[in-house]
């Protein structure tokens, strides 16, 4: 269920990566603990990583990332020449900081809305998409429309959105911390097709909503 998009870029020649760095202005990240930059830090939840040893090898120290250094999304941003992408719950995520993208990922979150609820608060994928469409995109549109740029054709809101990258890595919590957590011995429980069908349908619907926000 989790797709590691970074693998696609690792084998690319440097000339190709250089070209992509010039073409991709921003990245918008949707996901769970694999990409969470610290969005859960102020939530009442067990699913947060704002204590050591998390961040011991990260230049900014303990930030709430579930790893010793950078996340998958961080590394992808580095490859594309994008500065560290701010989290949606960071109070500094406003103004010109939005121009490199926003990370909405939230630990324990899933495609299904109640995934991870046993740990406490999180930002479910549906809410991540809402924040993207109802809060961030309007701010970005205002920023790009009010910027003093000579070439408006290549610096318009539509051009910015079209060139930006959307990274989505989510789904394992729907299995581990939703369906399988219902059983005392989950390793012996087969996963019925209807469970995956419901998750795929929910994810497809979220993709459609994202498209509506982008091109409405």
- Residue 129 reports pLDDT greater than 70: yes
Strands (E), the chain: 27-31, 101-103, 165-169
Residue in 170, 207, 164 with CA at minimum distance from that of residue 35: 170
Rounded distance between C-alpha atoms, residue 121 and residue 137, angstroms: 24
Q: What is the pLDDT of residue 13?
A: 56
- For the cut 80, the answer to whether the pLDDT of residue 60 exceeds it is yes
pLDDT number for residue 179: 84
Q: Is-contact 202 112, C-beta < 8 A?
A: yes
Sorting pLDDT into bands at 50, 70 and 90, what band is 144?
Answer: confident
Query: What's this model's pTM, rounded to 2 decimal places?
Result: 0.86
């Amino acid at each position: 269920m989790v797709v590691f998009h970074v693998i696609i870029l690792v084998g690319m020649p440097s000339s190709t990566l250089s070209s992509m760095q010039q073409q991709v202005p921003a990245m918008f990240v949707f996901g769970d603990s694999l990409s969470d930059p610290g969005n859960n830090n102020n939530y009442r939840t067990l699913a947060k990583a704002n204590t050591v040893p998390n961040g011991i090898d990260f230049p900014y120290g303990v930030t709430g990332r579930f790893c010793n250094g950078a996340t998958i999304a961080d590394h992808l941003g580095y490859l594309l020449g994008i500065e560290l992408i701010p989290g949606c719950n960071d109070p500094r995520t406003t103004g010109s900081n939005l121009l490199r993208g926003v990370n909405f990922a939230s630990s324990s979150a899933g495609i299904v809305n109640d995934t991870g609820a046993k740990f406490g608060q999180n930002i479910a994928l549906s809410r991540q998409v809402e924040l993207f469409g109802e809060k961030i995109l309007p701010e970005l549109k205002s920023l790009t429309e009010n910027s003093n740029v000579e070439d408006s054709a290549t610096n318009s809101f539509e051009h910015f959105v079209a060139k930006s990258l959307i990274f989505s890595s989510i789904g394992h919590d729907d299995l581990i911390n939703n369906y399988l957590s219902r059983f005392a011995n989950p390793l012996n429980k087969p996963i019925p097709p209807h469970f995956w069908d419901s998750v795929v349908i929910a994810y497809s619907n979220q993709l459609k909503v994202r498209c509506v926000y982008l091109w409405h």
